[in-house]
């Protein structure tokens, strides 16, 4: 009780200290609907003072736990830890979101200063001997504490996290461990900043209309708008942001320009200039290895996988190799088809990586009479959003209401309140779907507040989905590609995992699951996107409202396994690359490109396919949380293919009984039980790999 009172007192004093004339909105009480961030009041200059103030507060809360003279209990130690750092977490979540989506020179400066400080702050807590002694004493008598399953997992997680955070190291090793963490934090920031700057730096400027041959009208219009925004009216500018680049390499008849833009994309961070990432990633790899060895692991991958479903690198490699063999075989068949297409056109050049998108589109058109541009008019972004919302309503009975009274961080953002069927508030969802120079590439979900319960009260989640999809152009709305539709459904699946969480403790709520399980709820959502029963609810022509024709739906279905050799192989190549970098057991000094080439040669990657991410712009693993974890997508796909097969085989893809079990045991359960146990509670059995191979046409 003393700890709880102290925490309340600290928070009250801090809020009170902000009541003077100069208020920092990050430290003030948020008198906003559902305590959403007051973006209109937050300025970039607010972040550093808020970080330093809330770190001090957090330290005081930790001191209160450590100095509590009462015997350690789950309540005064573990729950107190759960409740500590509330304001620091709040500040960090807002700043992290802005760092990803509203980046600026000032934000980058703040990140470079504060992230190493945050790393040091976390290390000081994780390596606090008195605090660890209390946790360890509880862990050693855990079976006598009469804890429920969620509490037991929370206790075990804290104990393991402290061990993995260096709590058992000697004094010298603790100092080195902390120094490594700080360096890694700085290097990850620099890596990501370089990729963002490299992405924004390249422009393919076209001033001859003939060089636009083959391109869709929407791509040309967007390029004209981009040029005009940069003061180059009468020209067209294409970038290596995917909504700009992909249509270009799919449809441009100018092979030299396709090569130019694609080469700029796959050479990001590898141009031997101030934005080169080769030395940075080598330092990251070697520091991660050193840290893993300090903790007694053979490699960084062993360290990471120790708490994932895969458990060890051998299991990861085994799965990747099992899928690679049929994927490569199919990719070689696809290559032969495209080479034949080149020959039929009267050309004798050899297919290259920058040709793949162009000729695969031609082969698809010839084999299935399907042109992706025929689909875009039916995938207007607001209709797609309504479609995914409607799917959630059908499956889980929840409702979405747009809120215009909640502050946004950018005009592109939309905000929705999520409710149960009876109107009970569940949470808030922000969507931010269009690219801009301040936003990193890709798509993701995160949270401004995670769901948990405090003193029996439900603290509801505040979730956001971010994408870089095709934007409106001229008088046309945002018309998405098929891939963008699937990505929107994917990230919405993550949002549902966070939104429908029903856990007591924040550290195991929502997406706080093993990394190779967390992609399951997102990927399974993609399965519904192209089902005819779902398509008819949202795939309507943006001009006349006509539902997508049955013939077009059939073409999508017929072509669903097309190019899966390529799609699977390029993904697997990146997964192998990630694992190879992180299974090294001795420091490497090898040239980065030599290492990458050796890795790709080892798996027999054909030269016409590049790994989805080359090392020098592989943000997932060098600037994000997916190191030794990029395999997670295919691991989780085994689960999602098997799960959707259950809905299909039941004869009802909206099967209410299965949907209820899925919500209860997957979406609501977070990390409150072993991931496979949760899956078996939903499905009744462990998954097999066959549905995955069948879906990708690799069986």
pLDDT at 474: 84
Residue 417 pairs in a beta bridge with 401, 428
Tally of CB atoms within 10 A around 644? 21
Pinpoint the alpha helices (H) of 542-591: 550-558, 564-582
Q: How many helices (H) and strands (E) does the chain have?
A: 28, 9
pLDDT at 20: 44
Q: What structural domains does the chain harbor?
A: 2-126+128-164 (1.10.1370.40), 202-266 (no CATH), 278-370+565-630 (1.10.1370.10), 377-558+641-674 (1.10.1370.40)
pLDDT at 15: 52
Q: What angle do CA 237, 614, 178 make, to 5 degrees?
A: 115
SS3 for 50-74, per residue? HHHHHHHHHHHHHHHHHCCCCCCCH
Catalytic annotation present for 491: yes
The helix (run of H) or strand (run of E) holding residue 249 is helix 242-251
Contacts of 687 (CB under 8 A, 6+ apart): 638, 639, 641, 642, 643, 679
Q: Is 148 exposed, middle or buried (0-12, 13-18, 19+ CB in 10 A)?
A: exposed
Sheet holding 425-432, edge to edge: 399-402, 414-419, 425-432, 462-466, 444-449
Residues composing the chain: 699
| Rounded Cα distance, 569 and 572, in Å | 5
Residue 465 pairs in a beta bridge with 431, 445
Query: In angstroms, what CA-CA distances link 452 with 79, 92, 399, 411, 544?
Result: 12, 18, 21, 30, 45
Q: What are phi and psi of 446, to 5 degrees?
A: -155, -170
Taking a C-beta distance cutoff of 8 angstroms, is the pair 266, 616 a contact?
A: no
Q: Which of 491, 512, 519, 570 is catalytic?
A: 491
Q: What are phi and psi of 14, to 5 degrees?
A: -65, -45
In this prediction, the residues of the chain whose per-residue pLDDT falls under 50 are 1-11, 13, 16-21
Contacts of 413 (CB under 8 A, 6+ apart): 430, 431, 432
| Rounded Cα distance, 123 and 138, in Å | 21
pTM: 0.93
């Amino acid at each position: 009780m003393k700890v709880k009172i102290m925490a309340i007192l600290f928070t009250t004093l801090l809020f009170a200290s902000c009541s003077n004339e100069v208020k920092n909105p990050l430290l003030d009480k948020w008198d906003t609907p559902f305590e959403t961030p007051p973006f209109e009041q937050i300025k970039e200059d607010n972040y550093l003072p808020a970080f330093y103030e809330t770190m001090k507060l957090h330290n005081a809360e930790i001191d209160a736990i450590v100095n509590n003279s009462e015997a350690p209990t789950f309540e005064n130690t573990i729950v107190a830890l759960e409740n500590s750092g509330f304001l620091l977490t709040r500040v960090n979540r807002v700043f992290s979101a802005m760092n990803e989506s509203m980046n600026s020179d000032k934000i980058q400066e703040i990140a470079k200063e504060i992230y190493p400080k945050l790393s040091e702050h976390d290390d000081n807590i994780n390596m606090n001997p008195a605090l660890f002694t209390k946790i360890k004493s509880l862990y050693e008598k855990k079976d006598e504490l009469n804890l429920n399953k969620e509490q037991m997992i929370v206790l075990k997680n804290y104990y393991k996290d402290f061990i993995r955070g260096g709590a058992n190291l000697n004094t010298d090793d603790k100092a080195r461990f902390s120094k490594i963490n700080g360096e890694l934090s700085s290097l990850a920031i620099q890596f990501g900043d370089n990729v963002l700057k490299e992405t924004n730096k390249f422009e393919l400027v076209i001033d001859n209309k003939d060089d636009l041959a083959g391109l869709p009208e929407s791509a040309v219009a967007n390029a004209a708008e981009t040029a005009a925004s940069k003061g180059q009216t009468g020209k067209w500018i294409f970038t290596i942001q995917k909504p700009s680049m992909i249509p270009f390499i799919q449809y441009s008849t100018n092979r030299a320009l396709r090569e130019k833009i694609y080469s700029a994309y796959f050479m990001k961070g590898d141009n031997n200039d101030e934005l080169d990432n080769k030395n940075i990633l080598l330092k990251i790899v070697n520091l991660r290895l050193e840290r893993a060895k300090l903790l007694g692991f053979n490699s960084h991958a062993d360290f990471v996988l120790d708490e994932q479903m895969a458990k060890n690198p051998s299991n990861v490699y085994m799965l990747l190799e099992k899928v690679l063999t049929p994927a490569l075989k199919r990719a070689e068949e696809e290559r032969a088809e495209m080479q034949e297409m080149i020959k039929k056109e009267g050309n004798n050049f050899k297919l290259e990586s920058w040709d793949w998108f162009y000729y695969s589109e031609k082969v698809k058109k010839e084999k299935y009479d399907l042109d992706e541009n025929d689909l875009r008019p039916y995938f207007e972004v607001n209709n797609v959003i309504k479609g995914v919302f409607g799917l959630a309503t059908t499956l889980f009975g929840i409702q979405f209401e747009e809120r215009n009274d909640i502050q946004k961080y950018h005009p592109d953002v939309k905000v929705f309140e999520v409710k149960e069927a009876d109107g009970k508030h569940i949470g808030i969802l922000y969507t931010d779907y269009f690219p801009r120079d301040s936003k990193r590439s890709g798509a993701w979900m995160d949270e401004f507040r995670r769901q948990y319960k405090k003193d029996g009260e439900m603290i509801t989640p505040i979730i956001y989905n971010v994408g870089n999809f095709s934007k409106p152009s001229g008088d046309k709305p945002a018309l998405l590609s098929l891939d963008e539709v699937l990505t929107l459904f994917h990230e919405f699946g993550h949002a549902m995992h966070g939104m429908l969480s029903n856990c007591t403790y924040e550290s195991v709520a929502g997406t706080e699951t093993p990394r190779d399980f967390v992609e399951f709820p997102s990927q399974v959502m993609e399965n519904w996107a192209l089902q005819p029963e779902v398509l008819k609810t949202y795939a309507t022509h943006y001009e006349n409202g006509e539902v997508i024709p049955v013939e077009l739906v059939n073409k999508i279905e017929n072509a669903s396994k097309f190019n899966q050799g390529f799609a699977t192989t390029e993904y697997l190549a990146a997964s192998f690359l990630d694992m190879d970098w992180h299974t090294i057991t001795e420091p490497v000094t090898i040239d980065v490109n030599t290492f990458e080439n050796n890795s790709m040669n080892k798996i027999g990657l054909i030269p016409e396919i590049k790994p989805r991410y080359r090392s020098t712009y592989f943000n997932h693993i060098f600037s994000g949380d997916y190191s030794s974890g990029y395999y997670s997508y295919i691991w989780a796909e085994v689960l999602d293919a098997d799960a959707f097969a259950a809905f299909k085989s039941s004869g009802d893809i909206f099967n209410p009984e299965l949907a209820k079990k899925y919500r209860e045991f997957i979406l609501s359960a977070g990390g409150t039980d072993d991931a496979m146990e949760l899956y078996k509670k939903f499905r009744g059995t462990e998954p097999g790999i066959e549905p995955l191979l069948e879906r990708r046409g690799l069986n």
